[in-house]
Structure 1
């Protein structure tokens, strides 16, 4: 008989404790995972360039770096970057938010080059530039 009393008391204690547990709150997983996705803006545009727009005295063999506000869909770069006036071919690619381009031969001294990103370049979030976007620099 004493055993049954103990079991009933234990049973009552356990079930009354369960009722007092707080309701689960929303998971922090979304907060912890989202910063790993590289989207720094609601719009997709150029954040910065090297050389900077309007720079002068740029090396004849520059590494051109374009940082975007969102991660880039690499396949959208294929024919969507141009250089004028007539530049040597540009090689390179993208990694996350960065496009890196290198001329295959030296640029011409004292020329202002314009790099244009076509409006069809796309972020991994599905946004496009929407308009052709350019920046220029002048070589030594």
Structure 2
């Protein structure tokens, strides 16, 4: 039998065998865990804030939003956020990676406020900030 004929038969055999392989199906592990893993980072830090650091002309009744690189352990939230000069009582909480804070009453006009996240704020993966992290904004 000529060599080209052997190669042709071998190629036909390989391609027909490949077409018999089952199609991969998504696993429950990939559906549930993969989105969680891909939305986190290997570090726990502030990703963004609203108002942004250094913002001016901020409303006297702002909603302060802090987005972290990992989901937040809500039990570490209450004692690890401060505002100076003293803000009216901040209420709010967190959902996944987002901390939302709202002052109980209007902030003072023309004042620069600094929000500080304490180094002990923790992600659901057990990572902490490791250092106090702050951002500031100035009201109207």
Tell me if TM exceeds 0.5: yes
Report the equivalent of 2:64.
64
Q: How big is the shift at 1:31?
A: 3.2
Counterpart of 1:37 in 2: which secondary structure?
helix
Report the equivalent of 1:114.
114
TM-score, normalisation: structure 2? 0.78
Give unpaired runs (5+ residues) of structure 1.
Answer: 1-20
Which of structure 1's runs of 4+ aligned residues deviate more than 6 A? none
Report the equivalent of 1:8.
none
Report the equivalent of 1:129.
129
The superposition leaves residues 15-50 of structure 1 with CA deviations (integer Å, 9 ceiling, x where unpaired) of: xxxxxx98xx9x844433223326421000000000
For the pair shown, the structure with the greater C-alpha radius of gyration is 1
Q: How big is the shift at 1:78?
A: 1.5
Q: How big is the shift at 1:63?
A: 0.2
Give the total of aligned pairs: 119
The superposition leaves residues 46-65 of structure 1 with CA deviations (integer Å, 9 ceiling, x where unpaired) of: 00000000000000000000
Alpha-carbon RMSD across the aligned residues, in angstroms, is 2.1
Write the distance in 2 (CA, Å) between the matches of 1:46 and 1:35.
22
Write the distance in 2 (CA, Å) between the matches of 1:48 and 1:34.
24
